[in-house]
Structure 1
Amino acid sequence: MSKLELEIKHLTSADLSAVLELDQICFGGLWTLEGYQRELDSPNSDLLGLFSGVSVVRLLGISCFWSILDEAHITILAVHPQYHRQGFGQALLYSVLKNACRRGLERATLEVRASNSAAISLYEKFGFKIAGRRRRYYKDDEDALILWLGNLQQPQFQKTLYDWDIIIRDRLTKAS
């Protein structure tokens, strides 16, 4: 089986139809074309895509965060359902946190469905802690957990990122 030839890069307007398709599959239409275009146009937003040069599905995952003062607020992290459990969520989260560090941000936060144990487990692997709960946050009235990660600029977190870089590079080169 051939390699997926994976690459994580900043999305552009040319990627928006694929982004909307993935958004529909993963979220049922969370954001509109205009919403994604606003993210692309904003200097405070990082919108990343995980691309494959050879798979049938070209855009395998997306992530987005907003720079708010000294915080990275992660708004989206999604992997196409056909590609779950292959380390792609880890790769996207790593890239988000690496970009947040490059921007000089001190901490990261996000909301996640209280029932999404796979996502919560992923975030906890990177050191996120539960900071609170937003009652009936989602359209279907499900609660969201507020997750928090501090000390992004501290040496111990930089070492964690370095360790994840090795794990993710190894995993992605083995992906097929």
Structure 2
Amino acid sequence: MLSSNLKLKSLTPDDLGAILELDQTCFGGLWTLEGYQRELDSPNSDLLGIFSPHSHTLLLGMGCFWTILEEAHITIVAVHPLYQGQGLGQALVYSLLKTACDRNLERATLEVRASNQAAISLYQKFEFKTAGRRRGYYQDNGEDALILWLSDLQHPSFQDKLEKWHSMVVAKLEKSLVISH
């Protein structure tokens, strides 16, 4: 539970319209309807969403990871532009890591645009470290991607980190405009 007002849940085919709308708003159509349908149908994909306390259909943010062997490969973290800076990104990253840990995965990895300082800062709050660079990774402009890595999800100390991060997320959300209306 992140807060008494926000609803975090695994996304389902019933949410496809909201998923596509958020994708279009955040990424200009990164994935297609068929792409998201494959994610929802895949046993190796976890797609989580945060819904508004004021509307059961307004998807404020979503995150996705693929299970590849013992790794959670985070593919999407998206927060509606009107709700950025209010802790929803932190809530999504925390929830993805908690889910990965609960699934007994050993580590998490992702790619992020080298210029996306806001996202890099978010991931660093969760102790992701830069492990490498993919040159020309993004097709729209040829920008490099940084490869970020977080290991030891099954180490006993990771549970302490999850508790600390949960407190951080809840404190941020309690101060945010999203849940204080």
Name the residue aligned to 1:128. 128
Name the residue aligned to 2:23. 23
- 1:98-117 equivalences in 2 (<5 Å): 98-117=98-117
Larger CA deviation: 95-104 vs 53-62: 53-62
Could you list the runs of 5+ residues in structure 2 that have no partner in the other structure? none
Asked whether the 8 Å contact 1:4–1:54 carries over to 2, the reply is no
DSSP 3-state at the match of 1:166? helix
Name the residue aligned to 1:163. 164
DSSP 3-state at the match of 2:133? strand
Letter in 2 for 1:13: P
Asked whether the 8 Å contact 1:6–1:172 carries over to 2, the reply is no
DSSP 3-state at the match of 1:64? strand
DSSP 3-state at the match of 2:115? coil
| Structure 1 residues 14 and 56: alpha-carbon distance in aligned structure 2, compared to 1, 3 A threshold | closer
- 1:44-59 equivalences in 2 (<5 Å): 44-54=44-54, 58-59=58-59
State the shift of 1:106 in Å: 0.3
Asked whether the 8 Å contact 1:90–1:168 carries over to 2, the reply is yes
What TM-score, normalized by structure 2, do the two folds share?
0.91
State the shift of 1:55 in Å: 5.6
DSSP 3-state at the match of 2:8? strand
Q: Structure 2 CA distance, aligned partners of 1:173 and 1:121?
A: 21
What TM-score, normalized by structure 1, do the two folds share?
0.94
Could you list the runs of 5+ residues in structure 1 that have no partner in the other structure? none
Letter in 2 for 1:162: E
Q: Which runs of 4+ in 1 moved over 2 A?
A: 169-176
- RMSD of equivalent CA atoms: 1.7
Letter in 2 for 1:79: V
Asked whether the 8 Å contact 2:72–2:100 carries over to 1, the reply is yes
